[in-house]
Structures are given as C-alpha cells and as structure tokens.
Structure 1
C-alpha cells in the first residue's frame, strides 16, 4: 500500500486544464518545448553560452586577434626590420581629424627634435605647422608575406617623407606598434602549439590511467604529483637554459613550445583520468568492449567525446598559461631571442627602470598580454558554464 498522499481533485483538474492533450490522450508539446527537447547538446550549449555576454565579446575579440595574425605584414605600418635614426625614442603620436578648425582627415603632427645637453635625453616637441596626412591601403615598406610572397601593401602608411609612430619608437628607432603586431603572431601561436602538445600528452596518459587503473594509474599519479610539486618558473628557467645558444631562433621557438607543453599536461591528465574512472563502467563502454573494440578506440571514440566540452573549456584556460610562460621566459632573456619578435621579447627591453621612467611607452606590449589573458579567462568561464549540465541557463 502506497504511503504517498494523492493529490486532491482540484489540483488534478488544474493540471489537466493546463496540459494540452491530443485526441489519443498523448501530451502535446508547445513549439518552445519542442525546440528545447529536440535540440542537440551542441545547440543547448550555444544557447547557454550566448547569455554570458562577457564570454561572447571575449570570443569575438580573440577571433579577431587570431585572424589578425594571418595578415600581420599588411596591418603593420612598417616592416619588422625598419629603423629610423631620426626617431630614436620618439613618443607616441596622436591622430587628429581637424587642423585649425578645418577638417583634414586622419593626420599626425610632425615632431621637432633637440638633444638636451644636460640630461642627454632626446626631446620631441609637436610641430603644429607640420601636418602629415595618413594614407590607407597604400604602398610602403616591402616585405615577404608569410616569407613567401613579395609585397609592399599596408593598411595605413605615413605621408611621403613623414612618419607615423602611434605607440612611439624604441632605442633603435623601430616602430613599437608594428613590433607588437608582429609579436602577436609568435605569442599566440606558441599558445596553440603548446596546448596541442599538452593535450596529446594529457589525454593519452590520463586516458590510460583512467581506463586501465591498477599499477598504471598509481605510476601516472606519482609522476603527476612529482611534476606538480616542482615550482613552475624555476623549472621553466632550468629547461630553457639548457637549450644551446647556437640554435637558430626557429628551433628555439619550437623548443619553448615543447617545454611549455611538457610541463602543462599534468592538470589535464588528472582531469581526464577522473572522468574516465567514472565513465568506464557505463553500459555503452561495456557494449563496445564486448563487440571487440580495442582500448584506444574505446578511449578516443567513446569516452573522450563524452566530456569534450570540458576539454574545450580546459583549453581556453590553459592557453593563457602558455602565453604567460613564453612572455616570462623571454622577459628574463631565457626564451625567444631576436630576431624573433614576441611580446616577451619586446618587454625584455623594459627591464631597466630608468628606461621605463624616461620612455614609458616601451611597456605598452604588456597591454595586449593583459587583454588576451582576460579574454581567455572570460571565454573559459562561459564555456565551462555552458558545458555544465547542472548549471542553470
């Protein structure tokens, strides 16, 4: 005999009146309910993700900045090798539209230069009589697009015999803005290549530990604990310092990415291992094993897709770590080296506090680092909430 209290007649009548039935007595779904009930998991994640405004705008920002690395040569006003001896440590120039009340269009004022003989500091004073209109989709410094196609087309160029240094210049007269744009390609691709190495190791090693268990799981867990107990920055420094100085910049670039990937796989491996431990006893896994599926096929075709959303969210959180790792190593002089240009290499020139005090625009490369890291964190929060089935929309 059931101990539950049956609903009264009024409650039943209210439920029946509110729930539509067809003539056969089957409950009908409203169009809105059908849209939700029959939507795929990916579509449900997208609906939840769209409500996270910060994550959406962060995703758009990251998409644009990653697309920009495809055309860095076109976006940069100057080539990477360009040096202007007339503009050593020139401060940033402001863009103006009106000159003496008249609309001129985008232009910059030229600078008058003099050397302060007491402080030996270069002093630049804007010359409001020297109007230098900017040119767009123009011919400027020649470059090899992705090292293959010769071209000289730029998005923006200075006036003839003029100059345009929106973020100033460095000690060699090189445009800081152009170098930041070129450095974006290196810094962001290091994150992508590093996360690829990290994911391959984390999914493979963590997958074996979670699927097989036993002594394999114990060995992997002890290795992970040892690696996670080591301080990250000293370990980076030690591994980066063993790279021979005779290596070419491109070899050093790949060496740094592999080092970052080899260090950062432990957290992902532990997450994959815990997920597989809970999923390997599911019925569909047992069915795949009974049908003769090999362990790698079970792991990569049946288990890993079950929490792919979690892996995507983990990637958006791990990539900033890779970028910060490269920036830290290059800033300390143990990472990438010139002529390779990255955000860390650019910040290496701002180590001297006297230089920063006199020429503060040299620390501007830290701005894209901060923006990208924040964008990845917001995007990771949005993806994690969207992928979490227990998180309310």
Structure 2
C-alpha cells in the first residue's frame, strides 16, 4: 500500500499544473456547495425567526370564531378581557416569557394625494414581546400606553409617503360595527425590522387607543405568546386548550415556511448534482489523460507481472489523493466564505419579490453547520472517487 502511495505521488507530480487544477475543481465545487447550503439554512432560519417574532409568536390564543383569512373586529370574533387572560396564562406557566394582547385591524394611511393600505396593530408598548419594535426604532420615540394621538410607522412606508417624525397623517380604519372612522395621528417614531414587506404595510397604535378607535372596547384579536424555548410550544399549547378559545402554535401558523424549505431543498439537490457533475468531469478527464500518457508504462507493469487490479488501485489512490486535497481545500474555502457572510451578510432586494406568510430580511446571513459540511465533504469525496472508474 505504501508503494502505491509513493507511485501515486510521483505520477501526480509529473504534471503538477493538471493535478492542481483537478484539486482546485474539487475545492471550488465543495466550497460552492457549503456556501449555498449555508445560504439556504440561513435564509430559512432567518425567515422563521422573523415570522415568529413579528407575526405568529410561539403560541397564539384566539377567539373561537377567529378566521385567519380575514381581519374581523366583530365582538363575537374577539377575546374579551384580554389583559386578564394574558396575565393569567403568564402567571401559570414558567415557560412563557411574555403574553400580551394584540388588536388587528385593516386601514388606510393618507397624506395629501398619497395613500397606502396598511395593517393596524394595537399593542402594549411595555410588553417584552414588543421590544423588537422599540429596538428597531431609527427615528423619534416609541409609543406610550396613554398616547391618544401617536402612531409608529415603518421606514419603507415613511420613504414612500415622504414622511418624517412629527408629521401628521390621516388613518382610516374599520370598526366593530362595520363603519369606517378617520382620525389625524402624529408620527411619534419610525421603525425598521429589516423586513421590507412587513415594515411597509404595518403601523402601530397603543392598545387602548386601537380599542377605542375601532369600537372593540376591552377586546383583542389574539393573545401573542413568546416562550423561552420554541420546542416547548406543543406542551404549553396542550395545557392552554379551553372550550372558550382556540390555541395554535408556531408550527401551525408557519406551515408555508416548511413547504418553501422543501421546495428549496429540491432545487438545491439539482444544484448539487450540477456542481458535482462538473467536478467529476474535470477529475475524470485528468485521470484519462494520465492513462493515455502512461500507456507504455502500464504495458510494462503488466508485462512484469503486476495484476490489473493493482494497476487500477494505483489510479484509485491518485483519485483519492486529489479528492483529499480538494476536500480539505473546499472545507477551508467554503467555511471561510460562509463564516464571512454569516457575520456581514449580503443584501437582498426583498421589495422586488415576496411570499405571503413569510417574512424575509433585507439581508441574508449564512449559517455554517457541521452536519452539512460533513455530508457535503463525504459526498464530494465519493463522487470524485467514482469518477476515476
């Protein structure tokens, strides 16, 4: 075996440029696979994190007649005494970080000749679950619970309507009795969650003001619950079940993300096959050229008694050496670029496309996972060896 390795090193050294190019093909191929895998994992993890933080929470308590396909403010569709219910469930279950009522309504923001349809969310400004908006404040100040004239808007909406902190806008909003009311609000602050579609179409009012303007009185659309660990959602939801309301978990509300991830994995498989196919072709061509160059040498080895199996083993060892060098280089190369983009990310113009129910950030941060690196390295190594036959 040692003799085979010595001969393989010698033969690969005959044409260093060709050997280097073959190893480089494996390095670049594996590096691309690791990076693209990191993009997919990072995008899906980021989308799930955003959707949970901004839209679904880990658990939601809803009225029995709640219909997620429409925004209803009818009293029979809302939860009565929501703050009392939120305080009760938060006090009973230590797994819950925060439980807070939210009132959701549809509305239109107008400024001069310009207007924009928005989702109006009434929230408790002091709730820990809503601190993501306070942390995302880029201008002005956050809402106060007793503010009767203040509104919080997203940066994309402010840019589109040329709005600034202190400006006044008209808000038309649906009410519980089916009417539409209009009121002048002052922009207290402008926020960003780095999620273009959400920031462009969502405005916030203090819960008390939202309940008053919509005629919901002491009612809310849902109780938004955040947990210490999202994997505890099913257990807590089962304990919260009641005949007075419905309870849904983040898994129930984010089925679209799972479906998109499945589709993305299917497309990534095709990408893997294309990259590995190109890599295998380069390595195969290298070994074929080596065989043609050494036809006379192979004949001499056979003539002096070397078995065909041993000659084949020598070429397999050469392929293994190329694969080893390439895989090591690919791990370093792919790991480096994935780590870099995991820290700094790269921009993605979400305004040009979007998926309903999925909140994608304006910047993607790649995620390097050991499982993917091991799997892709093994796959690349095997394909390189197979290409030598």
Aligning the two structures, in what range does the TM-score lie when normalised by the shorter sequence?
A: under 0.3
TM-score (norm 1): 0.25
TM-score (norm 2): 0.25
Does 1 or 2 have the higher relative contact order (CA < 8 Å, sep 6+)? 2
Bigger strand fraction:
2
